[in-house]
Structure 1
């Protein structure tokens, strides 16, 4: 008989979990493994709320096993390290992002691309090496192999830096990989939410000329004046879209709702790249001539590997890049999910875990 979450491991843990497809989160007592030789245990201080959390707790991707404790934008302070840990000590500030394990032997792992390992272990809702499931950062503490723990830069804020562990690396990685990280490159960003605002900040820090595409005209001021984007296009306005035709070297599409990509392809120069980082439920319609006539590319990108994620954090600290956040107590999390579904947040909720999650 399978053990209960509370009895799987020897170390008691406490957090918030969803128990069915309603996605309603409520307190859960569960357990975490004892600290292994290569493990780092840390007290969770802050955890960002990602749109993927909402997909998972409602089983919208069809892979969820309940109960599920989400959260993969996790920042904390080390409380214990294993005997063979080399990179961290008690008292260090650390982060854990989207993955906590991989096979360590495939081609992707050898290239520091653990996020593309076919046996990657996600931070929550997946089966760990020992056969038990993983629980995320909506909880009082975490334990992870030191390879998947990130050193937190001293001058990077903990609360507003936390979303960089997903939203940050998910946009930084494609900008770097697809050559959109050069001064003067013309980059489009579709959507101005948690991912989109991070994409704008990183692209601007690289020296790119940035155009934001949004269905909401009211977001022009926050895009141009707040985030310093160079241009703003209302994607529902055909005249504005036509004015952007053949102007961009690449586009980072962050939208997770269903939408047409044909108009975005028209905005690309020849050899332009449309990179999808959002994950809509429905498939896209793709006209072959939209690609053929400009030798254009439609690509996808997930989060980066651990080496690149550390590089991203260091870059963010150097350039003063953080997420724009609304800090909340954990008992507000269900309200926050509802607001996030309506895009009623600028631009990322972050849970003040240490000051609001109290074990019974």
Structure 2
């Protein structure tokens, strides 16, 4: 075991502060990563504050990890020292259930091991600690190759915000010429706009805030639809091939369901909480679908990173020092960031 520096919370009511944590020795199937950057996800905040229940303290968050390989185990052949790599929301799964066999480790039927606030049940039974730390040791099957042409800081949020929006666009086969709506211009929404644009879709940013229109178009949206404008919503009714809904809280869905074409789908990726009721007729009269999507499996996440490398796609970020994390949490909950915070881990090492 090796003792390293980290930042974490000892209780749901406490700020994050410096901690010393232990990492396991590098096993034959492991990769040791020197962490250079880690994104700040709203899930980090929910877990630190125990909003979803089940947090086990101390919590060291962070599942948007970028770093350099510094050591590999004897069975590792596809990574070498110096490689730029990433670690997302998963660090292990059973690898044998039907979901894992389909490269859907996020839906592991025996319970995936998450990057933090989880248990290394297949390794040593210890708690997992995330990327708000100087180093991590991860099984080779859950380490991702990051294209060297990408800015490492901007690439960090791809490991969660990126794959969360890429996965539904890929699964529902969004293609060139499709009319795609992206609801909400935040950490998820801005990635959805970039991906849909790069896939060749006609992208419509759907927002309650007209002032976000300029930013949306700069990110790749072709049109902006203000959802509070009843006439504009009526004009777009029944015209969307696909809608990516990134709203993070419960909301009325009827207005957005009405935008879908016959046989088209709206996918929820943001609201992990009860939703308001909606009228069944909106789905029945058009054979429309409302679906949900989590992150993606390791294979799909690698495909997303490769696509980003080909199209030079990264997140729009604000780089912060580790010591500024508590202020960053307050700003995230106040929607005061464009569009993701990323921690420069050199600040922790120093």
Q: Which sections of structure 2, spanning at least 5 residues, go unmatched? A: none
Structure 1 residue 154 displacement after superposition: 1.5
Q: How many angstroms apart in 2 are the aligned matches of 1:287 and 1:23?
A: 42
The answer to whether the 8 Å contact 1:39/1:85 transfers is: yes
Q: How many angstroms apart in 2 are the aligned matches of 1:240 and 1:21?
A: 43
Q: How many angstroms apart in 2 are the aligned matches of 1:309 and 1:117?
A: 16
1:166 aligns with 2:166: no
TM-score normalised according to structure 2 size: 0.97
Equivalent residue number for residue 297 of structure 1 = 289
Give the alignment partner of residue 319 of structure 2, picking from 303, 317, 327: 327
Q: How many angstroms apart in 2 are the aligned matches of 1:297 and 1:18?
A: 40
Q: Report the secondary structure of 1:275's partner residue.
A: strand
Give the alignment partner of residue 237 of structure 1, picking from 219, 222, 229: 229
Equivalent residue number for residue 342 of structure 1 = 334
Q: Report the secondary structure of 1:357's partner residue.
A: helix
Q: How many angstroms apart in 1 are the aligned matches of 2:330 and 2:46?
A: 12
Q: How many angstroms apart in 2 are the aligned matches of 1:172 and 1:85?
A: 28
TM-score normalised according to structure 1 size: 0.94
Q: What whole-Å deviation, never above 9, does each CA across 1:11-50 have from its counterpart, x for those lacking one? A: 1122111122225211111101111110000110000001
Alignment of 1:235-274 (within 5 A): 235-274=227-266
Give the alignment partner of residue 200 of structure 1, picking from 193, 201, 218: 193
Equivalent residue number for residue 303 of structure 2 = 311
Q: Report the secondary structure of 2:267's partner residue.
A: strand
Q: Report the secondary structure of 2:243's partner residue.
A: strand
1:68 aligns with 2:62: no
The answer to whether the 8 Å contact 2:269/2:292 transfers is: yes
Equivalent residue number for residue 268 of structure 2 = 276
Give the alignment partner of residue 176 of structure 1, picking from 170, 173, 178: 170
The answer to whether the 8 Å contact 1:255/1:280 transfers is: no
Q: How many angstroms apart in 1 are the aligned matches of 2:186 and 2:291?
A: 20
Q: How many angstroms apart in 2 are the aligned matches of 1:286 and 1:256?
A: 17
1:222 aligns with 2:235: no
Equivalent residue pairs, number: 347
Structure 1 residue 282 displacement after superposition: 2.7
Alignment of 1:84-163 (within 5 A): 84-118=75-109, 119-129=111-121, 130-163=124-157
Q: How many angstroms apart in 1 are the aligned matches of 2:276 and 2:134?
A: 40
Q: How many angstroms apart in 2 are the aligned matches of 1:57 and 1:211?
A: 34
Q: How many angstroms apart in 2 are the aligned matches of 1:154 and 1:23?
A: 38
